[in-house]
Amino acid sequence: MAPALQSLLDLLDLEQIEENIFRGRSHPSVVPRVFGGQVAAQSLVAAGRTVPVDRPAHSLHAYFLRPGDPGAPIVYTVDRIRDGRSFTTRRVVAVQHGQPIFHLSASFQVHEEGLDHQAPMPASPDPESLPTADETLERYADVLLPGVPGRLAEARRAIDLRYVDAPPFAFLGEAREPRSQVWFRTNGKLADDPLLHVCLATYVSDMTLLDSVLLAHGRGGWAVGDVVGASLDHAMWFHRPFRADEWLLYDQESPSASGGRGLGQARIYTQDGRLAITVIQEGVIRVPRTPTG
C-alpha cells in the first residue's frame, strides 16, 4: 500500500470522544482551507460509525458552510434522527473554532430486492492506457501557478486519477463541451469494509466534479488563477456495491452556470459497466476582477 493511501486511511479513522462525538484532523491542503471531500468523507465515517453494519449508506446531502482550518481539529457531532425497520437517518455537524463548517444528512438501508435498471455506461478508453496524474501535471506544469504541480501531485498520491482527455487547464481560452471523464481508484488494496469504500468515493467525488463547468468557458481553474471557486453543496446516491480500489469511471457534465455558481452532475460506473453512484454538486465559481486604473 502506498504511504499516501495509508495516511489517507488514518485521516478517515476518526477518534471517538463520546458516544455521538468524533474528532478528525486534516492534511495540509493545496488551498488555504480544508479539502471539501475530506470533510464530507469524515462526516460520513462519523455517521456510519453509529449505524449497524448491515445497513450500507444509500445517500448523502451536504452543505459547505465555512472554510475549514487545516491546522485545527474538526469535531463531528452525530444526531441519530431515525432508526426505522428498513432505513436509518443521521445528521452530522462538523465544527471548528466553535462554528459549524459543514452539515451532512445521510441515509442507510438494509439490503432489499426490487426493480432494477440503469443508464448505460458511456464509451471510455481503458484506464491503463491513460497518462497518470504525475505525467499529466508534468506535461502542463508551465501553465500552472508556481508550486501548484508539486502540491497537486502530493495531494493525489493516495488516489490514482487519470483524465480521459485532459484537465481544464490544458484548454485555456478554448470553450469546449461541458463534459469531463476521469478514471480513479486507490493506490493500493483496501479492506472489505463497505463503509470505507463509500467514504473514499465521497472523498474523490469533490476533486474534479466542477471541471465541466470550467471547460464550457475555457477556464483553467484555481490552479492557474483565472477563477476563484469553492463547493457549496453536494449530494450522492449509492446505487450498487463497488470497490474504491478497483477502477471507477467518473462521467461528469455541467448543465448550467449562472449567478457566480456552477452546477456539476455525474455518474460513477464500475469498470464492468454497473452504475454505482450518482453525484450532483454546486459550487461558487467567480472570475477575479481585473484591476483598473
pLDDT tens, residue by residue, 88-129: 999 999 999 999 999 999 999 999 999 999 999 999 999 999
Catalytic site residues? 206, 231, 281
Other residues' Cβ atoms within 10 Å of the Cβ of residue 246? 14
* Cα dist from 189 to 6, 81, 281, whole Å: 10, 34, 28
Nearest residue to 180 (alpha-carbon basis) of 243, 239, 267: 267
Bridge-based pairing state of the strands 228-238 and 179-186: unpaired
Domains of the chain: 3-110+129-286 (2.40.160.210)
What's the rounded Cα separation, in Å, for the pair 13 and 257?
Answer: 36
Report the C-alpha gap between 223 and 225 in whole angstroms.
Answer: 6
Is residue 109 within 8 Å of 86, Cβ to Cβ?
yes
Mean pLDDT of 136-141: 84
pLDDT in tens, 145-161: 777 766 676 667 899 99
Question: Is pLDDT at 52 greater than 90 in this prediction?
Answer: yes
Read off the pLDDT of each residue in 3-28 and give the average, rounded to a whole number.
Answer: 93
At residue 223, the pLDDT reads 78
Identify the three-state secondary structure at position 95. Answer: strand
- Between CA 205 and CA 185 the distance in angstroms is 12
Does position 293 have pLDDT exceeding 50, yes or no? no
Asked whether the predicted pLDDT for residue 291 surpasses 70, the reply is: no
Say whether 74 sits in a helix, a strand or coil. Answer: strand
Closest CA to 88 of 50, 62, 114, 46: 50
Question: Shortest CA distance to 211 belongs to which of 148, 257, 160?
Answer: 257
C-alpha closest to that of 76 among 124, 107, 112, 40: 40
* pLDDT at res. 292: 44
Kindly report, residue by residue over 220-260, the tens digit of the pLDDT. 887 788 888 889 999 999 999 999 999 999 999 999 999 99
pTM to 2 decimal places: 0.94
Distances (CA, A) of 95 to 72, 92, 120, 127: 10, 10, 40, 38
What share of the chain has pLDDT > 70, as a percent? 94
CA 282 to each of CA 64, 187, 213, 285: distance values in angstroms, whole numbers, following the listed order: 10, 28, 10, 9
Cell, residue 172: 485555456
**136: pLDDT strictly greater than 90:** no
Task: Name the range with the highest mean pLDDT among 71-80, 219-228, 283-292.
Answer: 71-80
